[in-house]
Homo-oligomer: A and B are copies of this chain.
Amino acid sequence: MSNPPVALARWGSFHVGGREVRVAGEPPREVLFTPGSAPALLDPNGTYLVGAMYAQVMEPAPRRGTVPLMLWHGGGLTGACWETTPDGREGWQHFFLRQGWEVVVGDAVERGRSGWTRIPEETGGVPVTLTVENPWQRFRIGPGTPQEGRVFPGQQFPADAQSWRNFIRGCVPRFTTTDELTLAAYGALLGRIGPSVVVAHSQGGFFAWRAAQEWPEKVRALVLVEPASTGLAGKVAALADIPVLMIYGDYIEGDPRWPAIRARGLAFAEAVRAAGGQVEVVDLPAIGITGNSHMIMMDRNSDAVAGLVQEWLARRGLHA
Contacts and interface: CB of A to CB of B under 8 A. Distances in A.
Contacts of A173: 115-117
A34 B79 CA distance: 18
Given A129-B48, A257-B40, A113 B107 contact: yes
B36 A229 contact: yes
A112 B172 CA distance: 9
Select the residue from A18, A37, A79, A91 with max chain B CB neighbours within 10 A: A37
A20 B147 CA distance: 13
A288 interface: no
A84 B12 contact: yes
A157 to B, nearest CB: 17
Interface in A62-105: 75, 78-80, 83-84, 88, 90-91, 94
A14 B37 CA distance: 31
B170 A54 contact: yes
A170 B128 contact: no
Interface stretch (A132-140, A211-219, A239-247): A132-140
Nearest to A48: B131
Contacts of A3: 10
A261 B38 CA distance: 7
Nearest to A1: B10
A110 to B, nearest CB: 10
Given A35-B206, A37-B229, A47-B147, 4 more contacts: A23-B131, A32-B176, A46-B134, A80-B113
Interface of A: 1, 3, 5-16, 18, 20, 23, 31-38, 40, 42-49, 52, 54, 56, 61, 75, 78-80, 83-84, 88, 90-91, 94, 107, 112-113, 115-118, 128-134, 138, 147, 165-166, 168-173, 176, 179, 202-203, 206, 228-230, 256-257, 260-261, 264
The 6 closest A-B pairs by CB, nearest first: A115-B172, A46-B131, A15-B169, A12-B84, A36-B229, A52-B169
